[in-house]
Chains A and B, each alone.
Chain A
Amino acid sequence: MGFYLENPGQIADADIVIGIPTANEAANIQGTVARIDKGLADYFPGMRSAIINCDNHSADGTREAFFATPGKAAKLYIATEPGEGGKGANIQNFFEMAARLNPKALVVLEADIKNISPLWVRNLVTPILKGAGFVCPLYERHKYETFLSNSIIYPLFRCLYGRRVRQCNIGDYGFGPQMLQIYLNTPFRNRLVANSGIDIWMANTALVSRLPIVQAIMGAPKLHRIRGRFSDLPDLFAEAVATVFDLMGAYENYWLRVKWSKPTALSGTDLQEVETPFPPADVNPELLHEKFLEDFDKYYQLWERVYGPITARKLQEIRSIGFQHFSFPTQTWMSILFDSAVAYRGMPDADRTDLVKGLLPLYIGKVLSYVKKTWRMSLQQAEEFIENECMMFEENKPYIVKMWTKDERS
């Protein structure tokens, strides 16, 4: 893959390299770069640092704004070929450019984080310099902020890959040179990974790398533009779920051998919680119920075919409960996810698209059920609720192993 490069300082080596993927972020990039630069200067003053803006050939002046930000770290700008877009394309360019600089630690931070703190740079870089392979941040989250992670990615990744990493698809990471080489040499990349699937791909690839993973406590929520409103949801959901299912096929030799799960080490445990307000959690249970019912009849036959008559009957029961007492049992959701992954594996692309589209109303039903059950819970209680659900996924792992390997055995 080729990319356009500007390296005004002719930088050939850097100990710490920070990548900021962008697509038209002229309005946001300066604040992010300034705070990253301060973090590098405050916490790693003796190290050579470089900040790379990995851009989608933005036409809004992102490049100019990036170079105009004052700071001590060297600045490099790389851009995809005109017409080529997606965060994944930017990150893959970052891998290739960063590898030329022989870094000891690499970090990716999104450009639109409004409250980024210099301490976050410390928390993502320090564990890498101490030998970790991959660092995933742990932002403070509202209990209704990360449904996709809560309902699908965290429970599935934990049960499949055996490592408890809470915010796998968050978009910001630290990693070391060994992990960089793995990223550069991992052949599995598709159109989803070239776009927003890159976050899941990076975390998933780290989970199977066998390198130590650390979760970094950031002490604050991540305030940024939130995708995932209903208008964005179908695309966001489809990209995430298809990436997870695709990677299950790619990494089956790993996850079929995993039993139970293990925690990770933590960094940033000295951080005091800072007074940054949580973003408003825009949750409307009535609307979720309406969306759950809306496509029920449209997809019912598909569900019956993929999940079998017993689950289909269960779904009819769930529909008949009505809003007031609505509940989507975790056991049902889990078997739907497991059966979907197995079915997805053996389907042509067009059928896969339908399967994932058909999973969306069920996911919305699961989200509604979570909202209703946790409505009066504190964040900590809601986290315990999710942890219990994860244990159910782990306890039922033999089911997906059996279904996944059924064809191979017969």
Chain B
Amino acid sequence: MNGLLNFIRRLGATAVEGVWRIGFAARFFVLLLRHSGQSLTRIHLTVREIYFSGVLSLLIIMVSGLFVGMVLGLQGYETLQRYGSGDALGVLVSLSLTRELGPVVAGLLFASRAGLAVTAEIGLMKTTEQLDAMDMMAVNPIARVVAPRFWGGVISMPLLAALFSAMGVLGGWLIGVVFIGVDNGAFWSQMQAAVDFRFDIMNGVIKSFVFGATVALIAVFEGYDCTPTAEGLSRAITRTVVTSALAILALDFVLTSLMFRGQS
């Protein structure tokens, strides 16, 4: 009986803790938006974060995009040629990348590379009292540290997803056209005919923007809210990666069902 009571008590405490954290995160997000003015008026702070989150993620994003496109080229051609539609490889590769794989895989990579780095940096600043020192110097850490990193992530992510998709298409072309022998003209012309700018590209951009904002918010919140110890920082980093991945996949389902329901 005691064991059951303890279990219910722990379950209740976990639920309360979870709701409390969601509330705190929402309040944090409102504060972040309120103090975002400095990220625009002192644009060099945000540009610096775009460099750290975006430019330094370029290599992993572009190389991953190339390989994902190459795999799509191989697998896609293997399936399409069974139905005599090998020439439609460009359509398959480009639609898969712009609608789904570009935003989702780039988002997951972004969370692992840039999101993790942001959580670690802010968390370590908290652990070493740098945020407290800033606060004591009458400099708001949310305005000076958190907001530029958030907006840096929000701006970087759609650009990275676009580059991921572009590299993926290139990878698909490399495998499909150069190595397998799909007709070059058919590859590009069918792609051009099938991919709609507003419906496919813009929806992909919207997805990547939402994923970028989600990952950036999770990353800065986990860093800012971490327990200022080595273990607390380690847990915060883990939570950033796990929560971001789950949030991206869940949001992808929601957005896909809203954007593409009954239209393709």
- Is chain B a partner of chain A in the same complex? no
Binding site for B on A (CB under 8 A): none
Binding site for A on B (CB under 8 A): none
